[in-house]
Structures are given as structure tokens and as C-alpha cells.
Structure 1
Amino acid sequence: MQWYTDTVTAWPILTAMIQFAVLGTLGDLISYWIINKKADLPYKAHVIFYKMAEWALLAVCIKYAFTGFGGFVDALVSHGMLPEPGGFMRALYKSVFMNLQFGPFLVIMHRILDNLIAGEKSWKNLDKGMYSLLWFWIPAHTITFILPRPYQIGLAAVWSVALGVILGFYKRK
């Protein structure tokens, strides 16, 4: 594990991009497999490359949000706008503020990029993506922010696989 922590500490943006490119795309594939009840390759190679690039771009935004919202919570505490939090409460504050402020941007950006790759203009079920901020991402990121910083982005990328599985079962045919 030391190699992992050293690498993500030395190369935080690049490693975030790689982890999300691989795991986010895997989540998309698993969701497709569950929905369609078959484990074939649903996209051509160039589309998989575009999806990996999409997840890598989103990872940069996510990495900056993870860092920035830690500072946001610190600023609110230092100005007396929040009580001094302990470990769990600090993680919860950071998760709630990040998901309620940055989350909608990320959901919309994700849909725009999905539409661009698919060559369509579908906004169907965007509301469900927004609701996932409340029922999935706030609890998931609260757990994530309890971890030491080097493990946070990796777990967030794993959560994208978990959400792909959950949504796949929800949308099954």
C-alpha cells in the first residue's frame, strides 16, 4: 500500500484520472451488462476510449472539489459559521457541502459528455441523477472523507462502480 500512497501523493491529478478512467468506465459496462442481462462489449473501442476520457476529465473536477471543499469547511469553521467538527462530522460537512453545491454541476456535466459521446440530446432521468446526490453520494462521500487523503479518490472511483451496479439493477429489463 505504500507504493499506492506514494504514487497518488506524488501524482494526484494523473492518478485520479487513471483510477476514474478505469473504474468509472467499468461501472458503465457493468450497468449495461446488468440492464441487458448479457456480458458483451456494448461499445466500439473508440467509444470506450471516449468514455475513459470522459471519466478522466470528470476526475480532475472531482479531485479539485475534494481538495477545495476541505478548505471550504475549514473557512466556515474559522469564521464561526459551523461548529468545530470531529472526524465524522467534518467528513459529513464536507460531503454535504460538496454534493449540494458541486454535485449538480457534475451530474449535468456527466450527462452533457455522455450525450456528446452518444451523439444524442437526452435529458431523461436527469432528476434521478440529482437525487442520487442525496441517497448515494452524500453517505458514500462521508465514508470516503473519513479515510486518509491518499485513499479518498480511489474509494470515490470504486463508488462509481458500485453506483453502476445499483443503477443497473434498478433499470433491468
Structure 2
Amino acid sequence: MGKDNLKKDIIFISILVVFLLFTITKSYSQFISRHMYWDGFIKFSILATMGELLSERINSKVWKKTQGLIWRIGIWGVFGSLVALMFTIFSEGVIGAQKKGLLVGNNSLFTAFFTSIIMNTTSGPVMMGLQRIGTTYIDLRYKKNRTSFKEVIEIIDWTSFICFEVFTTIPLIWIPANTLTFLMSEKYRILIAALLSMILGLILTLGKMKQKTMKV
């Protein structure tokens, strides 16, 4: 089992490295310049899903297929397309507001900071909530074979969502991280955002494992 896991670890890392290198090639850069939505879909569907698989690997100590994997890939892909749209809307909107004197600063740092804080405090919680609803629906669907939207809403721990994901991760993680993201070249922003989603998933997994250990 140990050798099998090590082999799969190497395969996972190899796929991740190859994909990251592919996304910075000239051919892919030319593709995303014409297909923004597909860029977000591809990067998030692959990287965020790989993050979920890696989180499960860390949590259970073995590699195993996540339930509803295809549906999860689809949800992350749609999420990535929306992120690509939001990045454009908010970055261009902030620049326009600065030109009209509605926001202070005329340098890249101020622009990146305002873009990050406005995006994360408005569309951020909505998109995070929709993503939580989608993954919860998949979990229930595979456990019970059938479920309802009402059941999905009722089973989600909204207190934890608001207190931790919204009031903790947004100001402490997402606003600073996305400020750095918006300081990057536009062609790398979606890639950085997808990697951040992957890393955050690992942080949450390690946090849950630490809590379990402390309880024991």
C-alpha cells in the first residue's frame, strides 16, 4: 500500500507540474487571449479538483476517487469561468472609478487592493456559497441517491460558513492574496487564483485534522 501511494504521489506531482508548465506556454497564452471563459474553466476544473483529491489523500492517508468527481469538475469549471468574468468586471470597474475620482490612488498597488477588497466583499461570499451548495448537493446525492434543494440548504452549517469562510478567510486570506494576484500580469491571474483555491483547500484540511487530533 505504501509503495502504491508513493507511485500515485509521483504521478500526481508530475501531472500538476506538466499542467502548470503547459498553461504558461505561448500556444496556451494565445488560446486564452481569445477564450477567457475556457481559461477559467480549464484551470479551476483541474487544479481545484486536484486540490480536493490531495486533501482527501492527506485526510485518509490513501488516494481514492471522490464521489461525484465528474460533477465536481464541472462545478469548479463553472466557478472558474465566473472568476474570470469577475476579475475583468472588478478590475476594469476600479480603474474607471479611480479615473472619475471615486477611489483614491493611481498606481497598481491601490488598484489591486481596491479590486480585491471590493470583489471579495461583494461577489466573493455569493460565489463561495454557491460552490458550497453545489458540493453539498453532490455529497447528499451520492449518499442518499436523491435529495432536494431544501435539504441541501438545511444541512449546510451556515454559521461556520459565515464566521469562518466569510469573516475569517476573506479578510485574512483572500483580500491579501488577491491583491497580490491583481498585481500580476493579467494572463497569470486565473492561474494564481486557481492555485490559491487549491492551497486553501489543503489549509482547511490540515486545520480539520489538527482539530481532530486535539479532541483525541
TM-score, structure 2 normalization: 0.74
**C-alpha displacement of 1:42:** 4.3
SS of residue matched to 1:17? helix
- Measure, in 2, the Cα distance between the counterparts of 1:64 and 1:74: 16
- Measure, in 2, the Cα distance between the counterparts of 1:90 and 1:74: 7
- Measure, in 1, the Cα distance between the counterparts of 2:180 and 2:206: 23
**C-alpha displacement of 1:39:** 2.4
| Contact 1:5–1:151 (CA under 8 A) maintained in structure 2 | no
Q: Residue 126 in 1 paired to residue 161 in 2?
A: yes
**C-alpha displacement of 1:165:** 1.2
Unaligned runs of at least 5 residues, structure 2: 1-24, 141-150
- Measure, in 2, the Cα distance between the counterparts of 1:123 and 1:34: 23
| Contact 1:30–1:168 (CA under 8 A) maintained in structure 2 | no
The code of the aligned residue for 1:164 comes to G
Residue in structure 1 matching 2:135, options 106, 114, 121 = 114
Quote the residue 2:29 is aligned against.
5
Residue in structure 2 matching 1:50, options 53, 61, 71 = 71
Q: Residue 158 in 1 paired to residue 179 in 2?
A: no
Residue by residue over 1:104-155, the C-alpha shift from the partner in whole angstroms, topping out at 9 and shown as x without a partner, is 1011111111111112633222122212111111111111111111110011
Q: How does 1:15-164 map to 2 (within 5 A)?
A: 15-36=39-60, 38-44=61-67, 47-119=68-140, 121=152, 122-124=155-157, 125-127=160-162, 128-130=164-166, 131-164=168-201
- The count of aligned residue pairs is 170
| Contact 2:53–2:63 (CA under 8 A) maintained in structure 1 | no
- Measure, in 1, the Cα distance between the counterparts of 2:85 and 2:176: 20
Identity among equivalent positions (%) equals 26
Unaligned runs of at least 5 residues, structure 1: none
Residue by residue over 1:40-64, the C-alpha shift from the partner in whole angstroms, topping out at 9 and shown as x without a partner, is 21424xx110000000111121111
**C-alpha displacement of 1:75:** 2.7
SS of residue matched to 1:80? coil
| Contact 1:21–1:56 (CA under 8 A) maintained in structure 2 | yes
**C-alpha displacement of 1:4:** 3.0
- Measure, in 1, the Cα distance between the counterparts of 2:107 and 2:129: 32
Higher deviation after alignment, 113-122 or 22-31: 113-122
TM-score, structure 1 normalization: 0.91
**C-alpha displacement of 1:3:** 2.4
- Measure, in 1, the Cα distance between the counterparts of 2:175 and 2:188: 17
